[in-house]
Amino acid sequence: MTEGPSPTHLAVLRLLADGELHSGEVIAVQLGVSRTAIWKALDKLAGLGIEVETLRGRGYRLAEPWEPLDAARILGALSEPGRSLLDDIEIHACLGSTNTYLMELAKTGAPAGRVCLAEHQDQGRGRHGRTWVSPFGRGVLLSVLWRYSFGLAGLAGLSLAAGAAVAIALRSVGVTDIALKWPNDLLWRGRKLAGLLLEAAGEAHGPSHVVVGLGLNLHLSPRQAAEIDQPWADLATALGPRGRGARLERNRLAAIFSEALLVALDRFGREGLVPFLPIWETCDPHRGQPVDIVLGPRMVHGIHAGITADGALRVLTESGEETFQAGEVTLRSGHP
């Protein structure tokens, strides 16, 4: 794991957060540290992918303003349903993975409704073990812990419910053309905008617990985007003219997506996948398209025929209809 920023590094970053010029001398005086400490801090920030501009004789500034995650501001932006379901909000500068952190916390008895956010995670994962690229402070990286009285089998379809909830949340902030790709990828015009990762543990007949992780990049620079090995989009791009050049409010967005997942997890426990199916119908443009399903050494070719009431993918093959609870789906039209 990459060593995270020290308190001094974070203090320098917070001073620069407004995007204005700050001289190294003034920063050193404000923080009560040496100029050498400031240089080391700036070097560390660069190593984290934070772009700091140096104007000789004038000082330093961030290439773009930065809004630090703040638990009080996130809590204040939650509506009553979100606050009633929330246990606590934890914010970390750097974690290996917010999902891993909450799964470990769950073993100690942490209650449902715990939310964990990180400015950066260096072991962030997508489905099938893929790496999730997450530059420091450039996205919303959060995980939510929830507990159920039923067993692991009852969690079938939960990933689709979570995807539907995030799709509605994205629409609420102004994103159009959102598509869901089974089981829970969120695409914008064929490019991955957000990803979900669900991890669960428990007994066959209950109880069980699950951690739902969300990764959403808000605005990536060309250099940061070069690290991504698949067609991608960030929120600023998906918002169009509204997003380009705008200062995206990370704490408000963190509240919106935290609440969306809290409400969805609670509702799934009471009603299952059924109330989320209509959302899937409106966000699934791939139905009727040819798909390939990879499941271990097996590959299946067929036509995407929708999803079942418990969230399985229906595929029409030459030998008839098959359903899949897991697998890697590729659209043969060339979309991811």
User: How many residues appear in the chain?
Assistant: 336
User: Annotation-wise, does 99 bind a ligand?
Assistant: yes
**CATH of 7-62 given 2.60.40.1930, 3.10.129.10, 3.20.20.70, 1.10.10.10:** 1.10.10.10
DSSP string, 215-259: EEE----HHHHTT--S-B--HHHHTGGGTTT----HHHHHHHHHH
CATH fold, domain 286-331, is SH3 type barrels. (2.30.30)
Catalytic residue at 250? no
Q: What is the reported pTM? A: 0.90
User: Annotation-wise, does 2 bind a ligand?
Assistant: no
User: Annotation-wise, does 125 bind a ligand?
Assistant: yes
Catalytic residue at 332? yes
Which sequence spans correspond to the domains of the chain? 7-62, 71-281, 286-331
Catalytic residue at 192? yes
Q: Which of 184, 171, 244 is nearest to 215 (CA)?
A: 184
Q: What is the pLDDT of residues 233-272, one digit of tens each?
A: 899 999 987 655 456 899 999 999 999 999 999 999 999 9
Position 227 pLDDT exceeds 90:
no
What is the average pLDDT value for the chain, to the nearest integer?
90
* Residues 82 and 255: beta-carbon distance below 8 Å: yes
- Among the listed residues 44, 114, 192, 250, the single catalytic one is 192
CATH fold, domain 71-281, is BirA Bifunctional Protein; domain 2 (3.30.930)
Q: Which of 178, 190, 174 is nearest to 243 (CA)?
A: 174
User: Annotation-wise, does 121 bind a ligand?
Assistant: yes
Give me the pLDDT at residue 273, please. Answer: 97
